[in-house]
Amino acid sequence: MQGEHTHIVDAEAISAIVAKVGLGQLYDLTIERMAAVLTGGPGATVEMKQRDGFLLTTPQLGLLEWMPAVRHGATVSIKMVGYNPHNPVKNQLPTILSTLCAFDADSGHLRAVVDGTFATAIRTGAASALASRVLARPDSAVLGLVGCGAQAVTQLHALSRVFPFSEVLVCDTDVRAENSFAARARLPEGIVRVAPLHEVEERADVLSTATSVAPHEGPVIRGRALKPGVHVNTIGSDMPGKTELPLDLLRRAVVVPDHLEQARAEGDCQQLAPEEIGPSLSEVLQDADAHRRLSPVTTVYDSTGLAVQDLVMVEVFEELARELDVGHRIAIEATADDPQDPYAFLPGSATQSWGARLGARS
């Protein structure tokens, strides 16, 4: 490990990767790698710790969290993620900012640092696509999006990799977000249409809620006139008290959390008793008959975000950056020829005065 450098996969490198690989192919790769991890496929010796962090109340409401996971024998990953819903207006920054780190599981060497902001948006969309692929009706043709921010764009693109939507209906309390969504989604006119909430609910086959609703101010949909057999992805519930779906909808649906304990603490499952919650996404994906049994009923995927999903993302981007030779390599760790000498990497002049000082005392 002597002389190992850390691979920095920054925004410029991410842009080069997407340009060469293709955005659609990146979603496909992410969905399949995520499926392999969640179904316990080859090499999926992974585990994670429940995320933890700080609830920030000043100067405004926000979160700063860390999310650790390990692929035994290979990679330890940790994501630092900030959630600050005031960012777009106040700071001209995304609501969610994050950084991914990959450490070598054998040595602890910091192998890679990867932009996590783009990766988080991609993996959140990919998780909804993976859940919807097994829970939604295969002939789903109309996508409904409640909330038109950055996450809604990646919901649309990821879900479009598994369903041939003929129409996309969107709504948001922010008229500017509604009107700019089609352009930000890079779609031609006619595919995306701004619609009132009641129409989005009535016509969607797959519905994703991606809002920054404040704690105790939900729900963001009424849920009374949904199509029979609709599938709902709720991705905006990510802190105590913050929920997007009405309780009566949750109680008449099969609710599939990404992680039971986390969803009960921070997701829409906060509203339910344990016996009212269905199987986890991993359990559903491992059951070959799950789609046949669940597709005739309303289903909900309670997406709170998993550290193993972030492990997948840091591995994917580290792998692609290495293959395509993009990014930068820098020496972050203080290592040198002698691993038992903590000063070996310093210039001699930096330590001479210390030795001379001790020698003067003898």
Q: Which are the catalytic amino acids?
A: 79
Q: List the structure tokens of 159.
A: 């879900």
Q: How far apart are alpha carbons 88 and 141 in whole angstroms? A: 32
End-to-end CA distance of the chain: 38
Phi and psi angles of residue 355, each rounded to the nearest 5 degrees, phi first: -65, -40
Token pair listed for 3 = 């002389």
Asked if 150 contacts 175 with a C-beta cutoff of 8 angstroms, the reply is no
The sign of the dihedral angle between the CA atoms of 43, 47, 52, 53 is: negative
CA distance 320 to 23: 13
Cβ-based burial of 92 (10 A; exposed 0-12, middle 13-18, buried ≥19): exposed
Cα distance between residue 27 and residue 129, in whole Å:
9
What is the distance between the alpha carbons of residues 24 and 35, in angstroms, rounded to a whole number? 17
3-state percent breakdown (helix, strand, coil) of the chain, nearest 5: 40, 20, 40
Backbone torsions φ then ψ of 146, nearest 5 degrees: -105, 110
Q: Please tell me whether residue 299 adopts helix, strand or coil conformation.
A: strand
Distance (Å, rounded) from C-alpha 78 to C-alpha 307? 7
CA distances for 73 relative to 46, 138, 248, angstroms:
10, 38, 45
